[in-house]
Amino acid sequence: MVRVRLKKTGTRNCICFRIVVTDIRTARDGRVIENLGMYDPRLKTEKIDLERYEHWISQGASPSETVMDIVERAKTGKKLADRPRKAKPSKKVLAK
């Protein structure tokens, strides 16, 4: 079975991801069939070849949840920075 998912690249404190088509049995950073784009969470940049993505989906590939979100943003034209942020939980101060 073929899957469209993220492949981790970059260094320890500067992580970047590639959007790849790979066999579901291979390791996360293992051999890929095709590179479709990239995703950089630090710089908030995303690039994906939608034509090739649609080709692989029509062939039966299943995308991961993160890749589906990236494709949805690419189709609507929204940027990663435009999405609403989740509120952080407040820190409770313990009384002694």
Tens-digit pLDDT profile for residues 16-71: 999 999 999 988 888 889 999 999 999 889 999 999 999 999 999 999 999 999 99
For the entire predicted model, the pTM comes to 0.77
Picking from 47, 12, 16, 9, the residue whose alpha carbon sits closest to that of residue 30 is 9
Q: Phi/psi of residue 81, each to 5°?
A: -75, -15
Predicted confidence at residue 88, as pLDDT, reads 65
Predicted confidence at residue 28, as pLDDT, reads 84
Q: Are 71 and 50 within 8 A, CB to CB?
A: yes
